[in-house]
Structures are given as structure tokens and as C-alpha cells.
Amino acid sequence: MPTIISAAKVIPPYEMNQEKASEFARELFSNSFKDIDRLLKVFQNGQIEKRHFVKNLDWFRQSHSLEEKNDAYIEAAVSLGKEAIEKCVTNRSFLNIPIPFEEIEAIFFISTTGLATPTIEARIMNLLPFHPHTKRIPIWGLGCAGGAAGLSRAYEYCLAFPKAKVLVLSVELCSLTFQHHDLSKSNLIGTSLFADGIACIMICGDNCNLDQIRRKKTSLKIMATQSTLMPDSLEVMGWDIKNDGLYVVFSRDIPSIVESWLRPEVISFLQQNRIKFENLDYFIAHPGGKKVLDAYVKALGIPVSLTDVSLEVLKQYGNMSSATIFYVLKRYLEMDIPHGSYGLCIALGPGFSSEMLLLRWDE
């Protein structure tokens, strides 16, 4: 089975604690909502402590055109995405030897927060010595589910080409979609939650001499994947694309949808792979928000402790859309987890949709 062999993240340069973010939101929204003090409690209730952005706070106090925001997206995505790739292929925490760029057979690029043609991975390939025949698979529009979906598509690629080494690069600069004049509750919630994040994962096929490459005693194999689209749920999550950019669509019903819809999907997926839910050792969840994590616990009947790692990533980084699951996954890769342990990786996104991967640690 294809193996997740390395991971790296890049932290954007500007850190903002949640208290300062709440003060900024008060400046922006106080004239729009009479109950602003009640609404601003979302900044504390979400348990996020700090987030990171590619621009400083003064940048967000001004209005910017779609062109300005997208130019900033391209510039930062190329620079930080390049750094994430370089760190991933040389990360001595996971690798015995650096992996030459020329040996990377394909790059899956995941993003939903900006537009670029040529795409970001093509621009990065002009800066690093990748082989000119490296395959490029940009994936746009899967939102928070995009990271898990990218892993699934890379898994399928490595099944077909077992000698392949593949990168999955996620760049999400959620802050650059911020709409200064959108005084909706959805934008207020988004202001309390979303952040910028960049991460890269490397996956290898079975015929890649893993014993020579990997440093860890056990590696994380992808055993199976499942993508699911919930019918008639297009309005739950996504973007409204308008003249001046992307406007967040974020339904307040997401936690209740998770509670009612997710459990049968998870149980069915595990049954297909002859795994009982109680045999799962780790729950590697995209932390869409504190309420979403609580909904996972309630829907699946799992101990709260299984979401501790996801909650800690949420506290330290916020919701970075598709990149968040890579931050969570990296923490699990850094642990010394026993051979034969099972994990379920899960993320939810627009559609409304879910992406799941069954994982196992093997020597």
C-alpha cells in the first residue's frame, strides 16, 4: 500500500492572537450588529488562541480589489509553497536521505483561496530543479476537504505507479479572501476562524526502497479511501464569487449535519474494509471548528481525547482550510506509534462532502 513518508509545514510571518482579532472585528462590525458583544463571544468560544497570516493587520483595514488580493495570493503561494516542498523532501525527522527533486513523479496542488494560470506548482517548478516531465495535478474548489482528497488521489496514483514518489502541496491563504465590506454574520464567523497555512506531504509507492528512505521505525500506509457527496447540500459551505472576490458561505447547521449524517458514512466505510470502529486507535480529523470537533465526538461516540491533537492544531493555527489536516497529520507522523495501529483520517468540505482515509502504521 502507498506510504506517507514525509511532511512539512510553513508558518506565515504575521501572528495574531485571538484577542487582537476580536478587537479588529469590533472595529469592523460594531455598526452592523446591535448585539455585537454577544456575537464577539465566538472568538473566545471557538478556543482558538492565535493564527498566522501572510499580511499584517493594517493590510486588512483597507479595501483591496480582487486583482490586488489575487496578486498577493500568487506571490505568497509561490514563495511559501516552494519552501514547504524544500522542507518536505529534506526533512531529516522522517527521511534518511534527501529526495532529489528530479525523482518526484507528480505534484498534486491543492487550494481554494486564489486563482492562477499557470498554476502555482508550475511556477514553483520554474524555481526548483524538477524533471520537466513531472506530472501536475492542480485541484481547486474542495475547500476544507481538499487536503484529504489530495492524499486520496495521490494514493490512487501510487497504486497505479508503485515506483512513484508524489508530493501533495496545500496552500491556503484564507485571509486574502477577506471582504472588508461584507458585514454578514458568515463573514464575522469566518473572521474568527480562518487563517493561512501551507504544508506538503510526500507519498511513495510500494517499490520505492522505503527501508533506505525512511527514518521512522513505522510508517503510515494508506489502506483505503472514500469520497462522499451529500445530495442537495450545495448551500452548506463554499464561496459566492462576486465582482470583488470570494464571499464565504458558512451555514450554522454544519455541526448538526455532521451529527446526523456522518456516522453511517464512517461505519459503512470501515465495514467495507473489515475494520470495526472500536479497533481504531487514532482519529485524525480536520478541525473545522470547536463545534465541528464536538459534533465528531457526539456523532461517532468516541472519547473526547481522540480529538486532542486536532483541537491543539485548531488552537495554535485556526482553520487553514485544506492545509489544516496536513498540520494534524504531521503531528501523528512525529509520534512513535506501534506497528499495526489503525487511524481514520477525515475532513469535510463544500458539496457538502466528506473525504476519509483508512491508515495503518507498519514497519
Q: Is 144 a catalytic residue?
A: yes
Map the chain to HEC letters: CCEEEEEEEECCCEEEEHHHHHHHHHHHHCCCCCCHHHHCCHHHHCCCCEEEECCCHHHHCCCCCHHHHHHHHHHHHHHHHHHHHHHHHHCCCCECCCCCHHHEEEEEEEECCCCCCCCHHHHHHCCCCCCCCCEEEEEECCHHHHHHHHHHHHHHHHHHCCCCEEEEEEEEEHHHHCCCCCCCHHHHHHHHHECEEEEEEEEECCCCCHHHHECCCCEEEEEEEEEEECCCCCCCEEEEEECCEEEEEECCCHHHHHHHHHHHHHHHHHHHCCCCHHHCCEEEECCCCHHHHHHHHHHHCCCHHHHHHHHHHHHHHCECHHHHHHHHHHHHHHCCCCCCCEEEEEEEECCCEEEEEEEEEEC
- Selecting among 88, 144, 174, 204, the annotated active-site residue is 144
Whether the CB-CB separation of 177 and 245 falls below 8 Å is answered with yes
| Residues marked as catalytic | 144
